[in-house]
Amino acid sequence: MGIIKNLFYKFQDQREVLDLTSFGDELAFKTSWNPLAPGGTNFCTHELQKSTSPLSGDLLIFKTTALAILFSASFILMGLAVFIPGISSGEDAERIIGLVFVGGGCWISWGMKRQESVFDRSSRRLAKGDKTYDLEQVCAIQLIREYVSAKETRYYSYELNLVCIDGERVNIIDHGSLRAIRKDAETLADYLSIPVWDAIDFKIPEQAAHRDVKSEISELP
């Protein structure tokens, strides 16, 4: 029994409970602290970059990382490595398996691309995928973590969310690099002149975690 108790204590969340008053804003009490985008990845999928084009102006862009591109490309290459010999041999099974891998790699690549976002502080707009958001409503950046347990892998994924004036949120990125997400959050906070609410190192109070916040930040037409 002693061993079981020790193991149970070891895997308990020993982090200090988050004090929402430390953010100095009543909005923190209206905001949900549950993961907004459950799942995530165990590596860095997107990093913040400044626009290098003089024509585009003063923009910050969350771009897909080289590692994420290689990840999706590996599925496509594996699929082609099976599909092409399957054409020569006439094996339907090989061709089907190859197409599944190619399709999976293309789907992953498309999903990564849709997660890219562009911040324009001159127009106070955010573009992500096919949606555009009003940055005038954004009051803070929220950082939270999620423990992801799959069949044969366990890891932490970290979310960067924007918090709106009424406590509603929109997810920007969700990946496994703590260093990168904190660095990018600070850069984005300076760019937008808003604070970072970093709750990654804290246990979320139950009443805050289960707060009912239903919708996202207002979209522009």
CATH of the domain at 36: 2.30.29
Residue 91 placed within a domain: yes
- Could you tell me the pTM of the whole model? 0.80
State which residues form the domain around 167.
14-45+123-209
Residue 56 placed within a domain: no
Tell me what pLDDT residue 193 has.
95
- What is residue 218's three-state secondary structure? coil
Whether residues 79 and 98 share a domain: the answer is: yes
Tell me what pLDDT residue 181 has.
97
Q: Which residues of the chain have pLDDT under 70?
A: 1-14, 52-56, 88, 90, 206-221
Tell me what pLDDT residue 7 has.
44
- What is residue 147's three-state secondary structure? strand
Tell me what pLDDT residue 135 has.
95
How far is the C-alpha of 34 from the C-alpha of 20, rounded, in Å? 14
Residue 118 placed within a domain: no
**How are strands ordered across the β-sheet holding 154-164?**
169-175, 154-164, 138-149, 196-198
Domain final residue pick, 90, 112, 134: 112
Whether residues 137 and 37 share a domain: the answer is: yes
Tell me what pLDDT residue 215 has.
41
Whether residues 201 and 161 share a domain: the answer is: yes
Q: How many domains does the chain have?
A: 2
Tell me what pLDDT residue 19 has.
87
Tell me what pLDDT residue 213 has.
45
Whether residues 144 and 72 share a domain: the answer is: no
Whether residues 104 and 127 share a domain: the answer is: no
How far is the C-alpha of 41 from the C-alpha of 155, rounded, in Å? 8
Whether residues 79 and 176 share a domain: the answer is: no
